[in-house]
């Protein structure tokens, strides 16, 4: 029997712009996790993936090519060099909210890869895990940037430019984020696709906004490395304003952002695709309690505090 985990993530800076070649920063959120538990199955059953939280049972050999859970199992077995269909039951559970920008699908895929490799006596470096998971990300999101699978596979802060660089970097001074859930689902592929259509119709309007989002991500990396919390908060506020201009925020997110700032957060912004999902606020030990309270009063269905190191 084998057990493996994968954490969630939040995008700090650069969401949406990263799809168009600008930099982004993402960090792991270890307070929420997906878990894959593998045990031997009855002879002849092959690989079966069970997701009790979703009331799903996937028989891998019978699943269509675009079924994500079966896809990641098949890809992992090929990478290991197992041509056979071992008799295994993989049970998936997760504390990561679905379709909220915390990387729930990516974490599930990552946990499956880690568990299968460990169970079958194989070892994958983090980059190989990331590459395997990316192939399944395409099924979930259509045109993923690649940042989710990178940060979850490496479990470190990542500076990312699609097709150019993915760099783990170090935090000059630990900082705290309040992560608040609007309670609204935010399908990444839908929001990304809508912005893509608007961008293609009027690129001259959107290019300067995307450029500035990328510039903010670059400046934020420097602020994180140097431990400049006040500057980091200011950049979060500016990034959120740009995401509003890009048309990916919503009243629920804007209300939570305003509440966090009222509570003393150094900065706040939506995180992920937008139009639902989560927002993040930069807090201190002194302000986190008040920010948490005001976020809940403003409608957050869940708030967690995570420290980035």
Known catalytic residues are: 148
Task: Identify any residues that bridge with 7 across adjacent strands, giving them in sequence order.
Answer: 33
Long-range contact set of residues 220-223: C-beta below 8 Å, sequence gap at least 24: 220/12, 220/13, 220/25, 221/23, 221/25, 221/159, 221/169
Q: Are 155 and 309 in contact (CB under 8 A)?
A: no
CA-angle at 238, arms to 233 and 241, nearest 5°: 130
Residue 140: partners with Cβ closer than 8 Å, 6 or more residues away = 68, 105, 106, 188, 189
**Secondary element (H or E) of residue 167:** strand 165-168
Q: Is the dihedral of CA 136, 152, 286, 282 positive or negative?
A: negative
């Amino acid at each position: 029997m084998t057990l493996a985990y994968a954490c969630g993530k939040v995008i700090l800076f650069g969401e949406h712009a990263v799809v168009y070649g600008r930099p982004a920063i993402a960090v792991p959120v270890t307070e929420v996790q997906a878990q894959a538990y593998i045990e031997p199955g009855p002879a002849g059953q092959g690989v079966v993936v069970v997701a009790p939280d979703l009331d799903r049972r996937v028989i891998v050999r019978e699943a269509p090519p675009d079924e994500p859970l079966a896809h990641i199992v098949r890809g992992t077995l090929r990478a290991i060099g197992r041509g056979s269909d071992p008799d295994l039951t993989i049970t998936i559970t997760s504390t990561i909210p679905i379709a909220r920008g915390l990387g729930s699908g990516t974490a599930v895929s990552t946990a499956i890869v880690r568990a299968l490799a460990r169970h079958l006596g194989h070892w994958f470096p983090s980059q190989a895990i990331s590459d395997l998971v990316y192939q399944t990300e395409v099924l979930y999101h259509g045109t993923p940037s690649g940042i989710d699978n990178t940060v979850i596979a490496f479990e470190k802060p990542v500076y990312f430019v699609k097709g150019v660089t993915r760099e783990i970097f170090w935090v000059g001074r630990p900082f705290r984020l309040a992560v608040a859930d609007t309670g609204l689902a935010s399908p990444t592929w839908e929001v990304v696709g809508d912005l893509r259509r608007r961008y293609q119709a009027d690129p001259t309007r959107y290019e300067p906004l995307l450029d500035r989002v990328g510039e903010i991500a670059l400046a934020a990396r420097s602020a994180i490395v140097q431990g400049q919390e006040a500057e980091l908060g200011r950049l979060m506020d500016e990034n959120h304003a740009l995401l509003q201009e890009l048309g990916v925020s919503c009243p629920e997110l804007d209300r939570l952002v305003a509440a966090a700032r009222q509570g003393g957060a150094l900065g706040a912004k939506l995180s992920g695709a937008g139009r639902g999902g989560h927002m993040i606020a930069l807090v201190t030990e002194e302000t986190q309690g008040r920010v948490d309270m005001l976020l809940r009063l403003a409608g957050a269905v869940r708030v967690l505090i995570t420290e980035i190191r």
